[in-house]
Amino acid sequence: MTVVQVVPDLQPGGTVNHTIEIAEALTRLKHRAIIVSEGGRLQAAAERAGATVIKLPVATKNPSQIVSNAKKLAELSRDLNADLLHAQSRAPAWSCLLAQRISKIPFIATYDGSFSERNPLKRFYNSVMVRGARVIAPGERLAKMIEQRYGTAREKISVVPQSIDFEAFNPANVDPGKRALLANQWGIAPDDRVILLPGRLSRPKAPHVLVEAASRLHEAGLKDFLCICAGEHPGRSGYAGEVWDGVHQAGLSDRVRFVGHCDDMLSAYSLADIAVCTSMSQGGHRLAILEAQAMGVPVAVSDSENGDEIVRAAPYVAETRATGVLYRAGDAAELAQTLFKLLAMGAPARRAMGVRGREWIASHFSKETFAERLLAVYREVSKQAMLPAGR
């Protein structure tokens, strides 16, 4: 098969990692992977995964440019003899939908977040993600939301959980020299207990909740903890500045650090005692939380994150089987209590929880299972497109 994925850009982030993951799965099984985007820092990684990268300004929301992109996508898809178009974001999905109507090549989309719908226009804009031949949801809870929100037939929704490179994210692969270098760069002292928040500093990911929780821990007299926020912030947003102001106002500049994008997440996870997800919106499986568990790191996850689909935690499993703890999304007080609980249990208990986390990831999020489920969707959609009209 030849599959054309369309994603706004190739800058670091969960959607782009997922796009590259799909390209790698396709090429590993001798299929052809094309990625259309505006390019970015991870273009080389996409090409190493076997994808051919073609640049188009598909991040734009300008209607006339969306139509222009659609015409180019239709022509490109015909020239490549593509079997289907796979949109990974809303603006590109509109171009894919129009390209499908021109070229008759089917299009599908991955719906990986509970997009806000403040008004009818926004709802219409979001609805493009369910207008293709199939919509892919990373988890059952998100699939149910799609079904309820848009009235999408259940048979049109395919649940395909994400995967991670289990062997790449292996504690045994950590280079002690690189780990020590990163600890020095981030100013981590030997006695610091590190709480890692991986991901972009965007409002939906809500890092301010961790700042508020850190303030509560500090007020309670806890001194030997260090919160590391590892991720870029959207260039046009003032939100990161708001979060940084909150750190200074709380007197936490020695307890909370923003280190920007990290190229060595293997070392970053190895330095962490706890990994945190503070997201406020229901989304797919947050890749960083899966990676952290693969690295044997206990996790604290907001219950907006598909709960039991991303971490094994009470009340869904007994505490003796837990790989982390769930807390109420947006509740800084509860997050502070959760972090205190994880820190208070001691290093041996956290290591045991981490071992369970690695076992959990190995059994549920393998690359082989992901590729099998995704390619089954691709084959079914391609086969249906080849049937005579009315069949």
Token duo for residue 3: 């599959």
pLDDT confidence of residue 73? 97
| 391 is a domain residue | no
For residues 194 and 124, membership in a common domain is answered with no
* Alpha-carbon 320 to chain mean position: 27
| 141 is a domain residue | yes
> Can you name the residues that pair with 230 across neighbouring β-strands?
198
Domain of residue 124: give its range: 2-163+366-386
* Alpha-carbon 182 to chain mean position: 23
| 21 is a domain residue | yes
Phi, psi angle pair for 92, to nearest 5°: -60, -30
For residues 59 and 110, membership in a common domain is answered with yes
Q: How many domains does the chain have?
A: 2
CATH code: domain of residue 371 = 3.40.50.2000
Task: Give CA–CA dist 300/326, Å, rounded.
Answer: 6
Contacts of 228 (CB under 8 A, 6+ apart): 186, 188, 194, 195, 196, 197, 257, 259, 268, 271, 272
For residues 181 and 78, membership in a common domain is answered with no
| 327 is a domain residue | yes
For residues 17 and 144, membership in a common domain is answered with yes
For residues 143 and 73, membership in a common domain is answered with yes
For residues 277 and 206, membership in a common domain is answered with yes
| 175 is a domain residue | yes
C-alpha pair distances (Å), 99 with each of 32, 94, 125, 132: 19, 8, 17, 11
Q: What one-character-per-residue DSSP string does 255-306 give?
A: TEEE----S-HHHHHHH-SEEEE---S-BS--HHHHHHHHTT--EEEETTS-
Residue ranges of the chain whose pLDDT lies below 70: 114, 234-237, 282-285, 305-308, 387-391
Let me know: does 378 contact 28? Beta carbons within 8 Å: no
- Give the residue among 117, 338, 97, 96 at the shortest CA–CA distance from 213: 338
For residues 48 and 138, membership in a common domain is answered with yes
Annotate 20-66 with three-state secondary structure: HHHHHHHHHCCCEEEEEECCCCCHHHHHHCCCEEEECCCCCCCHHHH
CB atoms inside a 10 Å sphere around CB 340: 16
pLDDT confidence of residue 114? 65
pLDDT confidence of residue 305? 53
CB atoms inside a 10 Å sphere around CB 373: 15
pLDDT confidence of residue 119? 87
Token duo for residue 56: 């188009």
pLDDT confidence of residue 390? 47
For residues 328 and 200, membership in a common domain is answered with yes
pLDDT confidence of residue 38? 96
C-alpha pair distances (Å), 235 with each of 18, 112, 200: 22, 22, 11
The amino acid that residue 58 corresponds to is V
pLDDT confidence of residue 283? 56
For residues 86 and 227, membership in a common domain is answered with no
- How confident is the model over 22-42, as pLDDT tens digits? 999 999 999 999 999 999 999
Let me know: does 381 contact 110? Beta carbons within 8 Å: no
SS3 165: coil
pLDDT confidence of residue 391? 47
pLDDT confidence of residue 307? 62
For residues 158 and 195, membership in a common domain is answered with no
- Give the residue among 321, 193, 305 at the shortest CA–CA distance from 313: 321
For residues 149 and 198, membership in a common domain is answered with no
For residues 289 and 194, membership in a common domain is answered with yes
